[in-house]
Amino acid sequence: METYIDDIGSFPLPAWIKRDDYAKAYVQAREMIINGQDPYSDPFVAQTFCQTVADSFRKKLSSGLDVINYPQHFDGMRQVGDAIDAAMNQGSFIVDNKNVVIPEVYVLNHEAKRLSEEFGKKIMLRISIFGPIEMYLNKIGATAYPEELKGFAETINRFAKNSILNGKYIETKAISIDEPSLGHSPFTGTPELIQETMERAYDFQGPVRQIHLHFASGIHDLLPVKGLDVLSFEYAASPQNIKAVEKSTLEKADKQIRVGIARTDIDAIWAELYERGITQPSAEQIVEPLDVIAKRYRFAKEKYGERMTFTGPDCGMGSWPSQDAAALLLKRTVEAAKTA
């Protein structure tokens, strides 16, 4: 089975865009879309949000990725959390369908024809959404209440369904529900409650259904989850993760896996370079060598074989020093996986 190369999502803003301006434009764009207005009709929103999303996505597309996550420049917790806060203020944990909007999806659908013709291929889009347990931990806490969790899961399911595109120029190839705290938090939910919650969130058809974890210890509670296709963990910065999951385990559960093969932990990379006396590193110095990334890919592919259906960098490029450095990482990861 083919191994697709994708990315987790976060990406640096262009140097000339202030984060506060982008966040302001993002919120305005979301409100306009919810109210049936075109965000391109407002010059500030069109330039600061819409154009930034399109340009950043073009950079990612230029790297050769097979499946490209929309560029996450906005706080991922607020992306869903703002809507949940508004619903909770009205006494509900379920967000109305009209409010489950990811503005980047609107922009990329709008830009799809131009981008598809420019690159000569249909765009395969990846959607990432923080999951019901991560949002629950953030909004309520570690004590699990089943009814409230059910509401959070329904909300995430609605966000996912509203992000599915299937047109001539663009298709939502994968949707990842991200649960970075699972397996490494004081959450009191039983394995059965975790399974029930995630199955409700994954109750949609069409795209490949991924979950992204930071800790492989969380995988075992997810193996029975119906509707979940691909388990994902970080390997490049956390090599111990690959020891926790065997191919036979995936085969028994009929699950696939995504393995991160290139480091993105920029603070640790900076610290290591500083210790070597490199205080002003170039993009070439920040990004790992091709052979290092390729070696990880070969090891993971040999271990998981056809069960490894996705690969790419670890997560978290939003704090990288520049778009050029992040784009180089993507390009080198693509080259490593395709030539290993």
For residue 183, the model assigns a pLDDT of 85
Count Cβ neighbours within 10 Å for each residue of 181-207 and write b for 16 or more, e otherwise: bbbebebebeeebbbbbbbbbbebeeb
Distance from CA of residue 108 to its chain's centroid? 16
Q: Write down the domain spans for the chain.
A: 4-339
Q: Which two tokens mark 326?
A: 């992040």
State the alpha helices, DSSP H only, in the chain.
Answer: 19-34, 43-45, 51-62, 76-89, 103-119, 132-139, 146-161, 191-201, 247-253, 266-275, 283-286, 290-304, 323-339
pLDDT of 338 reads 95
The CATH number of the domain covering residues in 4-339: 3.20.20.210
State the Cα–Cα distance between residues 336 and 18, nearest whole angstrom: 33
The C-alpha R_g of the chain, in whole angstroms, comes to 19
Report the alpha-carbon angle 165-260-238, nearest 5: 140
Helix pair 323-339, 51-62: axis angle to 10 deg: 30
Q: Give pLDDT tens digits for 251-268.
A: 999 999 999 999 999 999
Instruction: State residue 126's pLDDT score.
Output: 98
- What CA–CA distance (Å, rounded) separates 160 from 52? 23
CA 6, 161, 122: angle at the middle one, nearest 5? 45
DSSP string, 275-335: HTT-SS--HHHHSPPHHHHHHHHHHHHHHHGGGEEEEEE-S--TTSS-HHHHHHHHHHHHH
**Distances in whole angstroms, Cα of residue 258 to Cα of each of 8, 55, 68, 142, 339:** 11, 27, 14, 28, 18
- DSSP letter for 23, please: H
Q: Residue 328, Cα to own-chain centre: how many angstroms?
A: 19
Containing 173, the helix (H) or strand (E) segment is strand 170-178
Give the dihedral of Cα atoms 312, 315, 317, 319; nearest 10 deg: -170
Q: Give the pLDDT of residue 158.
A: 98
pLDDT < 70 regions, the chain: none
Which phi and psi (to 5°) does residue 29 adopt? -60, -45
Residues 6+ apart with CB under 8 A from 72: 9, 10, 11, 104, 128, 318
Distance CA 234, CA 90 (A): 38
Kindly give the pairing relationship between strand 123-130 and strand 208-212: unpaired
CA dihedral sign of residues 323, 327, 300, 210: positive
Does residue 312 contact residue 258 with C-beta atoms inside 8 Å? yes
Token pair 């970080």 is found at 234
Distance (Å, rounded) from C-alpha 79 to C-alpha 323? 22
Phi (first) and psi of residue 186, to 5 degrees: -85, 20
